[in-house]
Structure 1
Amino acid sequence: MSASSSSAPRVLVSDALSPAAVKIFQDRGIHVDFEPALGKDKDRLAEIIGDYDGLAIRSATKVTPKLLERASRLKVVGRAGIGVDNVDIPAATARGVIVMNTPFGNSITTAEHAIAMMFALARQIPQADASTQAGKWEKNKFMGVEITAKVLGVIGCGNIGSIVADRAIGLRMRVVAYDPFLSPERALELGVEKVELDELLARADVITLHVPLTDRTRNVLSREALAKTKQGVRIINCARGGLVDEVALREALDSGHVAGAAFDVFSEEPATENPLFGHPNVVCTPHLGASTTEAQENVALQVAEQMSTYLLTGGVENAVNFPSISAEEAPRLKPFVALAEKLGSFLGQLTEAPIKGVRIEYEGAVAGMNTRALTAAAVTGALRPMLQDINMVNAPSIARERGIVIEEMTRENAQRDYESLVRITIDAEDMPRYASGTVFHDGKPRVVEIRDIDVDAEFAPYMIYVRNADEPGFIGAFGSLLGEAGVNIATFSLGRDHPGGDAICFVSVDQKVSDALLARIEAIPQVKRARAVAF
């Protein structure tokens, strides 16, 4: 299928996409070639990709660095769906290619699948179906349980998790939720009880997971966590493989501690074999969470609209690697976007308690810029340690969904000796954390204040943050430990509030810092806290 004019932007659709989505491109004057089988032919795709400004895909097409090298005209990749694992984001970003997804188009469908899996577990529907169709009529074999009045534990109460909670409340279940980003006010609005993970494990009759896979959520249901669950619990995972220790879960199923499990996602996919397979109380589906006609249509139409808008007007929606910034303001704003995100990320990596709010203060020249984009960048950085799928476009809405209050303050007259200053405060349930930064004329963002202590540090890929007492011996001990571990120091920034008082050390190093080394640093007598941070 093609549409007019050789001067019009050209889009290639290389995976199966709704004809209605193709029509959106055509109606908006974009030349579109619809080749739904091309994504599986990487050599042919590489041959022709250089002719296109946009590439619309699902999961079959792999957007690799090698493909991007051939994509000389490519400006945007649109993924009809939420997952962009098949797109090399850093490579796309390096080449200036916007990568868009459709994060909310399949939320209802995925939530409904989790509810369906819960019913399948409760009444052993797949097993009873197989038995009955085999002519066995084993009526007494399949004794189910009621859903009504049971406690549903929701791990992750964001967009999908909150829909599951709403449906479960409609089924007259009691819902408890564990989510560090869920505010008490939002929990009250949803009608769920916010609890810590251990309490959820102890109380829930059914546990359903709705979190992204990050370093913090990997194996959130570990062997130790599974041991804390209620006898006879049922576990559902329609979120991401890797959230549950599948080997430990199989052992818990075999022992009878876990009554059943329903999984739509697995640690390795396609899952042709898995520790859970073959157990009589396990229900498995092949990653069908988003597989309904409505969801597939929604995400296809959404990605066509987003790509068309970008190619025709430059408007950016749901980009995973670029904020909503106009072409005119981009050069001046870009270093401040980097500053806001890195400053937010620094504070987010120091924060383990639930976040209640993020406040961003702009002083001086930066106060007259597009602070909306900067605030989105700051929130993205602050929340990314827990939510890796977050981006600068969806960060504000995700914060609102989770009841996190975002405050923005501007002062055109700088209060300190900087032309522009950005100060971010993360208000967590344990304590507030704050830091300030600026961009000098070299265009590089840097930290100039942490906890009211002046410092001057550029951001680097690997850094160590240390809070210590300002006493002799610390620097020598700290340097010796790094030297013994073979960790090279690139820059070393120090600050203190007064002689003999509180001090801060912010150091960039050439490699990732191990947990063992960090523990040795924290054991230095003068050290109050040490954290490894990465940017």
Structure 2
Amino acid sequence: MTKPKVLVSDKMDPNAARIFAEMGCDVDVITGETPEQLIARIGEYDGLAIRSSTKVTKEILDAAPNLKVIGRAGIGVDNVDIPYASSKGVVVMNTPFGNSITTAEHAIALMFALARQIPEANAQTQAGLWPKNGFMGVEVTGKTLGLIGAGNIGSIVAARALGLKMKVVAFDPFLTPERAVEMGVEKGDLDTLLAKADFITLHTPLTEQTRNILSKENLAKTKKGVRIINCARGGLVDEAALKEAMDAGHVAGAALDVFETEPAKASPLFGTPNFICTPHLGASTNEAQVNVALQVAEQMADFLVNGGVTNALNMPSLSAEEAPKLKPYMALAEKLGSLVGQLTTGTVPRVSIHTEGAAAELNARPIVAAVLNGFLRVQSDTVNMVNAPFLAKDLGIEVREVKTEREGDYHTLVRVSVKTEAGERSVAGTLFSNAEPRLVELFGIKVEAELTGDMLYIVNEDAPGFIGRIGTLLGENSINIGTFNLGRREAGGEAVLLLSVDNPVTSAVLDQARKLPGVKKVMALKF
């Protein structure tokens, strides 16, 4: 079996390469290349491990037909075109927890530096000025910290602040009242936070909703004398408005580790009294650099070798423990999606995936993605588990998920239904011995069949002699039958026949089959 090939294109801890090798990957460490050099090289690799230097653009992705996963050692993935990677079926991972403590500690350090004006005091002292009376700081004890973003890093900052005997007001749309109580913080809206906070620290991603969240308007709502820290993302703070507020004396100080444009060669804030800046050092500790490198290597190798999906930004996570249990369900789901996709013509505005019994207890998102992968593969040979949900959305297909934990006729069942111009049509399948996918219902007709290889689907009138006629026809054309699966609505009514065959059925044979007495529909299927 060929080992997956991984390229490490940015400098990271050398132990990452060791982990790739130990987990069964071939790895090359080639850093500092130009985009043109990377484009020329990337085609042979299954995985690409990066930090912040490599920019994974549309051009690079187009040059990487074998690429399956991109791993970013760190949190931010601004340097990866995630929508285009998704459309190409490439999983994008990051390591959101490897540098959390380091970034949180940097925010606390900057808060202390602001409170006591340490950088300016240091500079003047080293210049021989001894400015003992020139710097009057403030205590943090008893002050209110406004936390914009209460996720992983924000919650660590909150815990450290509470340890310093500060009060914490948190604004985060995803923060539940129960989680706020657990964290020991006051949950508030943004205006409440702005009005109460003596210090404000930001720990939220940069989105269209959060861009310039500290705008000129919102800075005007803050308490006079507030101090602002940003170790999250440039663009969360309107730098020109912050400069104006500091010059006016409304904002007492600010500390930024990130800027809207980086590297920040110029900023309206440079030279402003009580302004502190660092060059994006939030994750820059020895411990963090080792952690993120090891994590990205473990995650990527686990995906390439075992199928585990961890910290993916464009695909449902699938742990190494979940993967073996979900694997047969995903195989079943993909086959059911493929079957209904091949048998359905015309526009499909809705696809519904219903899990029942044991299947309903599992992580449904990989099962849904597998159904869409099978269903849409009829239309595109580049569709896969990653891009199928995105492609379905682009096509205007509504995707519904339904779970029924009680058991029906089967211990476990997956049903795929599609809305068509002719009405709702569905297929259903189960697992035999908890591992073998089997079709058990086809458009309302009970039929037990293994979906595999080349198959022939026939709808006919249930009448004596038909099976003999179809068997004779295939035999005369040297087509050997592997399995023979029958189902019918009622005696003498509509029947379906699913045959697995050893050779593809040609269009000429299909035409002959359509001319047999009682035949309503004939199609060749491929799984």
TM-score bin, normalised by smaller chain: 0.5 to 0.7
**Quick one: structure 1 residues 370 and 287, their matched pair in 2 at CA, closer, same or farther if it must change by over 3 Å?**
farther
User: What root-mean-square deviation, in Å, do the aligned CA atoms of Structure 1 and Structure 2 show?
Assistant: 3.2
Asked if the contact 1:323/1:377 (under 8 Å) is kept, the reply is no
Q: 2:244 aligns with which of 251, 255, 266?
A: 251
**Quick one: structure 1 residues 258 and 412, their matched pair in 2 at CA, closer, same or farther if it must change by over 3 Å?**
same
Q: 1:308 aligns with which of 301, 310, 333?
A: 301
Q: 2:211 aligns with which of 214, 218, 224?
A: 218
**Quick one: structure 1 residues 364 and 312, their matched pair in 2 at CA, closer, same or farther if it must change by over 3 Å?**
closer
The alpha carbon displacement at 1:369 in A equals 4.5
- The superposition leaves residues 450-486 of structure 1 with CA deviations (integer Å, 9 ceiling, x where unpaired) of xxxxxxxxxxxxxxxxxxxxxxxxxxxxxxxxxxxxx
Rounded to whole Å, the distance in 2 between the matches of 1:409 and 1:203 is 47
Counterpart position of 2:517: none
Counterpart position of 2:440: none
Provide structure 1 residue ranges, at least 5 long, that are not aligned to the other structure: 1-5, 338-361, 379-390, 393-406, 422-437, 446-535
Q: 1:194 aligns with which of 180, 187, 192?
A: 187
The alpha carbon displacement at 1:57 in A equals 0.9
- The superposition leaves residues 267-305 of structure 1 with CA deviations (integer Å, 9 ceiling, x where unpaired) of 222211112111011101111111111111101000111
Counterpart AA for 1:45: L
Asked if the contact 1:56/1:77 (under 8 Å) is kept, the reply is yes
Rounded to whole Å, the distance in 1 between the matches of 2:59 and 2:272 is 42
What are the equivalent positions in structure 2 for 1:190-339 lying under 5 Å apart? 190-324=183-317, 329-330=329-330, 333=333
Asked if the contact 1:333/1:370 (under 8 Å) is kept, the reply is no
Rounded to whole Å, the distance in 2 between the matches of 1:377 and 1:286 is 43
Counterpart AA for 2:147: V
Matched, 1:171 2:164: yes
Counterpart AA for 1:440: K
What are the equivalent positions in structure 2 for 1:100-499 lying under 5 Å apart? 100-324=93-317, 329-330=329-330, 333=333, 364-365=354-355, 369=359, 372-374=362-364, 410=405, 439-440=418-419
The alpha carbon displacement at 1:373 in A equals 3.7
Asked if the contact 1:333/1:369 (under 8 Å) is kept, the reply is no
The alpha carbon displacement at 1:310 in A equals 1.1
Q: 2:61 aligns with which of 61, 68, 72?
A: 68
Counterpart position of 1:17: 12
The alpha carbon displacement at 1:80 in A equals 0.6
Rounded to whole Å, the distance in 2 between the matches of 1:103 and 1:86 is 15
The alpha carbon displacement at 1:116 in A equals 0.5
Asked if the contact 1:17/1:36 (under 8 Å) is kept, the reply is no
Rounded to whole Å, the distance in 2 between the matches of 1:335 and 1:186 is 41
Rounded to whole Å, the distance in 2 between the matches of 1:164 and 1:177 is 11
Rounded to whole Å, the distance in 1 between the matches of 2:44 and 2:213 is 45
**Quick one: structure 1 residues 377 and 165, their matched pair in 2 at CA, closer, same or farther if it must change by over 3 Å?**
farther
Q: 1:8 aligns with which of 3, 6, 26?
A: 3
Counterpart AA for 1:29: G
Asked if the contact 2:235/2:259 (under 8 Å) is kept, the reply is yes
Matched, 1:34 2:13: no
**Quick one: structure 1 residues 375 and 55, their matched pair in 2 at CA, closer, same or farther if it must change by over 3 Å?**
closer
Rounded to whole Å, the distance in 1 between the matches of 2:53 and 2:334 is 33
The alpha carbon displacement at 1:439 in A equals 4.2
Larger radius of gyration: 2
Q: Following TM superposition, where does structure 1 have runs of at least 4 consecutive aligned residues deviating by more than 3 angstroms?
A: 324-337, 362-378, 407-414, 438-442
**Quick one: structure 1 residues 408 and 206, their matched pair in 2 at CA, closer, same or farther if it must change by over 3 Å?**
farther
Asked if the contact 1:364/1:413 (under 8 Å) is kept, the reply is no
Provide structure 2 residue ranges, at least 5 long, that are not aligned to the other structure: 338-351, 369-385, 388-401, 425-527
Counterpart position of 2:48: 55
- The superposition leaves residues 323-356 of structure 1 with CA deviations (integer Å, 9 ceiling, x where unpaired) of 246665447657999xxxxxxxxxxxxxxxxxxx
The alpha carbon displacement at 1:307 in A equals 1.0
Aligned length: 368
The DSSP-based 3-state class of the residue aligned with 1:176 is strand
The alpha carbon displacement at 1:365 in A equals 4.8
- The superposition leaves residues 204-255 of structure 1 with CA deviations (integer Å, 9 ceiling, x where unpaired) of 1111111111222222222221111111110111111121222221111001
Q: TM-score, normalised by structure 2?
A: 0.64
Rounded to whole Å, the distance in 1 between the matches of 2:354 and 2:26 is 45
Rounded to whole Å, the distance in 2 between the matches of 1:111 and 1:176 is 16
Identity level (%): 61
The DSSP-based 3-state class of the residue aligned with 2:18 is helix
